[in-house]
Copies of this chain bind each other. A is one copy, B any other.
Amino acid sequence: MLATLLHGPRDVRVEERPDPRLVTGDDAVVRVVAACVCGSDLWRYRGIVDFEAPKLMGHEFVGVVEQVGDDVHGIRVGDVVIAPFYVCDMTCVHCRGGVSTSCVRRGGWGFPDDRGVLADGAQAERVRVPVADSTLVRVPEGVDVDALLPDLLALSDVCGTGHHAAVSAGVGSGKTVAVVGDGAVGLMAVLAASRLGAERVIAFSRHPDRQALAREFGATDILEERGREGAKRVHELTGIGADCVLECVGTRESIEQAVRSARPGGAVGYVGVPGEGPAWPAQYLFSTNIRVAGGVAPVRQYLPDLLDDVIAGRIRPGRVFDFETTLDGIAEAYAAMDERRSIKALVRMPEPPAAA
C-alpha cells in the first residue's frame, strides 16, 4: 500500500509500505477513505520538533473496516468508522475518569502501540487499528458519507479539540467567550462555543477568509488586535473581560493574551500545544482567580455526541477544510498549510478497484 513518510524537514514522500494485517484479536484493518494534515504535523515538517526519519505521518482518518480480529465485536467489516487521533480502551481508570488521552493502553498513529507493534500513520491507504472496538466510532448505516465526509473527518481531531477548549472553560448558556487562534482548532472552538450556547463569541483574527468562517461558525465579534492590546479590546467590549477564553495556539504570547482577556474569576480553556517555553503566570492567575483547564483533548469521548450533531446537520465542522487533494498530491497539502494558503487540508485516498 501507499503511505506518507516524512524523511526530513519539508521532505514529504508517498511510498510503498507493507499492507497492514491483524496482529492481535483486538485489532482491525481499516481502508482509509480520507485523512488530513494537522497543524501539529507541520512542527516536524518545519523542523521545529525533532523526529526519527522516516516518520509515518497522519493521525486523523475516516475509513471502511476491512478486517477485524476475533475479539472485536462492536464493529464489522464494511462499517464506516471515524478514528480519534489516539488509541484508547474506554474502560481503564483514566478513560472512566474522563481523560481517555491518558488511557493505560494509549497509543498514537505512526508510533508503537502498547504491545510495541508500530501502528500505521493515517495518511495512507490502510491502517492497522489497535484496540479497535473502543478506539473507532462507527458511523450509523444510512448516513450519506460522501456528502458528510469533511464533517466526519473533522471529528477525528479538530472539532473535538475545539470542543474540549470550550468544555474546559465552562462555556454554557449566556457566557461571553473569546477565542485566541484562528487556525482550524480556533475556528472549531468558535463553533463549539456557539453550539454550547455562548451569548457572545469574540474571535481574534486578521485574515478575511478566517474571519468569514468564524462568523459562519457563530462569532459575534472579530478583533484584529493582538497581545495586551487585543485583551484590552475584550475588556472594552465586555466591560470586565470574557467569562471564558479559549486558547488554541500554545505560545507564550497567545497564553498571555488569553489570560489577560479573561474576567476576574473567569476561565481559560486551552488546547494549544505548548512548546517547552510557555508557562501559566502564577501571580496574575492568583490575583484574579482566573482558572486554567484543558490539555490534549479526549476527543474519543466527545465523538458520539458531535457525530449526532453532524448527522442531524446541526453543525458543519467540515467547512474548515479549504484545500483538497489526493494521496499523490499530499506534499502540496503540507506546503499549502505551511504557507498558510490553507486552514486545513483534506486528503482523499484512491478508490479501491471495483473487484476488491
Q: Is A335 an interface residue (CB 8 A)?
A: no
**Residue from B98, B281, B288 in contact with A279 in the complex, judged by beta carbons closer than 8 Å:** B281
A239→B93 contact, CB < 8 A? yes
Q: Is A51 an interface residue (CB 8 A)?
A: no
Q: How many residues from A make CB contacts under 8 Å with B?
A: 40
Given contacts A102-B265, A283-B276, contact A293 B292 (CB under 8 A): yes
> Is the contact region of chain A dominated by helix, strand, or loop, or is it mixed?
mixed
Interface membership of chain A positions 37-65, coded 1 if the CB is closer than 8 angstroms to chain B and 0 otherwise: 00000000000000000000000000000
- 8 Å CB contacts to B: which residues of A271-319? 273-276, 278-283, 285-296, 298
**Residue from B250, B278, B289, B298 in contact with A295 in the complex, judged by beta carbons closer than 8 Å:** B289
**Residue from B264, B286, B290, B294 in contact with A286 in the complex, judged by beta carbons closer than 8 Å:** B294
Q: Is A232 an interface residue (CB 8 A)?
A: no
Question: In the assembled complex, which residues on chain B have CB atoms less than 8 Å from the CB atom of A279?
Answer: 279-282
Q: Is A168 an interface residue (CB 8 A)?
A: yes
How far apart are the CA atoms of A97 and B289 in the complex, in Å?
11
- 8 Å CB contacts to B: which residues of A101-132? 101-102
Q: Is A255 an interface residue (CB 8 A)?
A: yes
Question: In the assembled complex, which residues on chain B have CB atoms less than 8 Å from the CB atom of A278?
Answer: 282-283
Q: Is A94 an interface residue (CB 8 A)?
A: yes
Shortest Cβ distance from residue A240 to the other chain B in the assembled complex, whole angstroms: 6
Known contacts A101-B264, A279-B279, A287-B296; 16 additional CB pairs below 8 A are A94-B265, A97-B240, A97-B265, A102-B264, A102-B288, A250-B282, A250-B286, A278-B282, A278-B283, A280-B285, A289-B293, A289-B295, A291-B291, A291-B292, A292-B292, A292-B293
A interface list, Cβ under 8 A from B = 93-94, 97-99, 101-102, 168, 239-240, 250, 255, 263-265, 267, 270, 273-276, 278-283, 285-296, 298
